[in-house]
Amino acid sequence: MDIDPKELFAALAHDIRLRCLMLLMQHDELCVCELTYATGAPQPNISRHLAQLRELGLVSDRREGLWIHYRIGPQLPEWVKAVLQATAEGMTSQSPFASDKRTLSAMPNRPGTRRCA
């Protein structure tokens, strides 16, 4: 997989795309609704930015019923993984990334969580 460095850094330069990527770096997989809840951005906005990230190969998706789940692209070149990892490590405690993480952890009825019958 080839990723143009200019396209990578352009993708990282947008607030919503960067916030989504940083959340995905902390979780194996997240649903669009989880990313919407954590960031407070409207669902169509999140979906549009995730589609752009998917086109670049930065994320992959899978459908499960009504849910679309995203994860960091498994075939990313090592240099891209290193950039994302270093970025995630450097921003963990900064706003809005720390707030996004706290908000997501407080989300009720997250997809895939166990529920009482």
Q: At 64, which CATH number?
A: 1.10.10.10
On whether residue 12 sits in a domain, the answer given is yes
On whether residue 62 sits in a domain, the answer given is yes
On whether residue 44 sits in a domain, the answer given is yes
Q: Which residue has the tokens 């795309």?
A: 17
The pLDDT of residue 87 is 96
On whether residue 89 sits in a domain, the answer given is yes
On whether residue 76 sits in a domain, the answer given is yes
The pLDDT of residue 1 is 82
On whether residue 77 sits in a domain, the answer given is yes
What domain range is 61 assigned to?
A: 5-100
Q: Average pLDDT, stretch 49-69? A: 94
Number of domains in the chain: 1
The whole-angstrom separation of Cα 36 and Cα 20 is 9
Q: Average pLDDT, stretch 18-28? A: 97
